[in-house]
Amino acid sequence: MSLILTHGYFIADDAIEQRIMRPYPPLGLLSISAWLDREGLDHHVVDATFLDVEGYLQRVRALRPRMLAFYVTLMTRRSVLRLIAALAGEGDGPVMVLGGPDVRHNAADYLQHGAHLLVVGEGEQTLADVARLSPEACRDPAALAAIPGLIHADAQGRPVFTGERQFVPELDELPEPARHRIDLQPYFQAWRGAHGQTSLNVSTQRGCPYKCAWCSRAVYGTSYRRRSPQQVVAELRTLVERYAPDQFWFVDDVFTINHNWLAGFAQALAAAGLRIRYECITRADRMNERVVQLLAQTGCSRVWIGAESGSQRILDAMKRQVRVEQVTAMIRAASQAGIQTGTFLMLGYPGETEADIVATERYLRQARPDLFTVTLAYPIRGTQFHDLVADQATAPPFDQGSDRDRRYPRTYGDAYYRHAVRLLTHTHAMTTAARPFGLRALVHRLAWCLSRLGMWWHRRATPQAA
């Protein structure tokens, strides 16, 4: 009888990941596992990523857990709820504990759908306290009240919050994630098959002090804490010696937020004689020429610089606190330094018009990132964006969808945005074509014209656009 740390992500069910094939181990769960190891708490980690549902259920049932702790996101909500229903058992079934970014603002719904306890905020210390409880104590309000960072149901089924738990003040106190708890070979094999190289994810910081209106801060709030460069380099050395990955992916929200830290990271790498390749995400306002030099010096092969829109009006509405010109300049600077660049775009934000989409297209042409992603905006509970459209939004039943499925009145209809996404795709392809007047570029130019025509046609048919 033991505690199981697990999640509900199955790569076979993710059509997008099947196409791009860039899977990474569940780093958050492995960090909690390392903490539980240090506390001497018996547990297992069951990684669902490369299993099918039946194989997953067999593995979990064979361990006869007294407690199941699921990490859940809006992407895995439906899957996790189905697994909970399948594993609940009769009467003395396992205690179901859920944590992750989706639970704080959906507490009542999760408690109504089979969860017994919800861990909100940083999970290591709270889950360790819960793991020490007997199954009976897990249902005792008095015992639970002594553990901050929990939500449980009262006698009437209403959520009861035990209060915020303080964050771990120094991230250097955290042990390295317990990667040995799962089999990393399927991840490496997937990467080799799709990209001819392997990659591992690493975290150097927690939290983000920025307040973008669409971004969830359900776990770390607006805190910002970071591990020392020396400790990060020590972990990287261990991973190189043990797994020899071809590159690393730093999962941090804003990798270059602290310029002194980045300089210290460069010094620590040099002192250790360690050469790595890595990919990261950052913001243009936390970059300059010196930062670009440090990225190149420390082995950054690709940097993703958030834009979301090429319209300053929409960026201001999103509270992004960045200028379009900054993003364009920093993408160009990184490219000139030999670093591959990527950018993120979002369409359909409240108030966006075709003029804003045209501005976003212009940004793509001028910045010329090597890669880009585009998504339709969706309001996540707990964000300012959600509050802005809550009175107009509709959503499927809680266990049948997620915030990604929440609908609100956009300026134009769905068909219009399908053409707008294609427009940006063809714009990028034309702009970055090796032969601007070659056959492939000409095909994209024709497709661009058809997309523009489709936008015009469906804009005329959209009542909101009138």
CATH of the domain at 156: 3.40.50.280
Query: At 342, phi and psi to the nearest 5?
Result: -140, 160
Cβ neighbours, 10 Å, residue 454: 17
| pLDDT band, residue 435 (cuts 50/70/90) | confident
Residues 100 and 155 in one domain: yes
Does residue 240 sit within a domain? yes
Residues 139 and 213 in one domain: no
Does residue 268 sit within a domain? yes
| pLDDT band, residue 463 (cuts 50/70/90) | low
**CA pair distance 63, 36, nearest whole angstrom:** 18
The tally of domains found in the chain comes to 2
Residues 8 and 75 in one domain: yes
Query: What mean pLDDT do residues 313-335 have?
Result: 98
| pLDDT band, residue 92 (cuts 50/70/90) | confident
Residues 290 and 344 in one domain: yes
Q: Of 345, 373, 401, which one is at a domain's C-terminal end? A: 373
Query: What mean pLDDT do residues 410-433 have?
Result: 95
Does residue 414 sit within a domain? no
In the block, which residue shows the tokens 């697990």? 6
pLDDT digits (tens, 9 = 90+) for 362-388: 999 999 999 999 999 999 999 999 999
Cα 434 from chain centroid? Answer: 32
Does residue 144 sit within a domain? yes
CA angle 242, 177, 201 (to 5 degrees): 70
Does residue 108 sit within a domain? yes
**CA pair distance 330, 305, nearest whole angstrom:** 8
Treating both helix axes as pointing N-terminal to C-terminal, what angle do 289-298 and 324-336 enclose, rounded to 10 degrees? Answer: 40
Distances (CA, A) of 172 to 168, 203, 265, 289, 417: 9, 12, 15, 29, 45
Question: Which CATH number does the domain housing residue 319 bear?
Answer: 3.20.20.70
Residues 222 and 90 in one domain: no
Amino acid at 444: H
**Mean per-residue pLDDT of the chain:** 95
Query: 3-class DSSP state for residue 354?
Result: helix
Strand-pairing partners, residue 45, are 5
Cβ neighbours, 10 Å, residue 438: 11
Specify whether the CB–CB gap between 339 and 331 falls below 8 A: no
Is 28 exposed, middle or buried (CB count within 10 Å of its CB: 0-12, 13-18, 19+)? buried
pLDDT digits (tens, 9 = 90+) for 93-151: 899 999 999 999 999 999 999 999 999 999 999 999 999 999 899 999 999 999 999 99
Query: What mean pLDDT do residues 408-429 have?
Result: 96
Query: At 162, phi and psi to the nearest 5?
Result: -85, 0
Residues 219 and 74 in one domain: no
Does residue 201 sit within a domain? yes
Cβ neighbours, 10 Å, residue 354: 15
Q: Which two tokens stand for residue 344?
A: 């993120």
pLDDT digits (tens, 9 = 90+) for 152-187: 999 899 999 999 999 998 999 999 999 999 999 999
Contacts 24+ apart (CB under 8 A), 28-32: 28/71, 28/100, 28/123, 29/5, 29/71, 30/177, 30/178, 30/179, 30/181, 30/182, 31/124, 31/174, 31/175, 31/177, 31/178, 31/203, 32/5, 32/69, 32/123, 32/124, 32/127
Amino acid at 420: A
Residues 310 and 207 in one domain: yes
Q: Name 34's Cβ contacts closer than 8 Å, sequence gap at least 6.
A: 174, 175, 176, 177, 178
Cβ neighbours, 10 Å, residue 172: 13
Residues in the chain, total: 466
pLDDT digits (tens, 9 = 90+) for 233-270: 999 999 999 999 999 999 999 999 999 999 999 999 99
pLDDT digits (tens, 9 = 90+) for 75-91: 999 999 999 999 997 56
Residues 228 and 356 in one domain: yes
CA angle 198, 13, 301 (to 5 degrees): 25
Domain that holds residue 80: 3-161
**CA pair distance 97, 67, nearest whole angstrom:** 7
**CA pair distance 449, 351, nearest whole angstrom:** 25
pLDDT of residue 322: 97
**CA pair distance 431, 433, nearest whole angstrom:** 6
Q: Of 373, 408, 438, which one is at a domain's C-terminal end? A: 373
Residues 139 and 205 in one domain: no
Cite the beta strand spans of 142-299 per DSSP E. 150-153, 159-161, 199-202, 205-206, 225-226, 247-250, 278-282
Does residue 331 sit within a domain? yes
Q: Name 70's Cβ contacts closer than 8 Å, sequence gap at least 6.
A: 6, 7, 8, 80, 83, 84, 96, 97, 98, 99, 100
Q: Which two tokens stand for residue 338?
A: 């030999």
Q: Of 108, 137, 161, which one is at a domain's C-terminal end? A: 161
Q: Which two tokens stand for residue 459?
A: 């804009």
Treating both helix axes as pointing N-terminal to C-terminal, what angle do 53-63 and 77-87 enclose, rounded to 10 degrees? Answer: 50
Q: Furthest-apart CA pair in the chain: how many Å? A: 73
Residues 215 and 362 in one domain: yes
Residues 11 and 152 in one domain: yes
**CA pair distance 357, 311, nearest whole angstrom:** 7
**CA pair distance 409, 395, nearest whole angstrom:** 12
Rounded to two decimals, what is the model's pTM?
A: 0.94
Residues 239 and 350 in one domain: yes
Does residue 326 sit within a domain? yes
**CA pair distance 223, 374, nearest whole angstrom:** 27
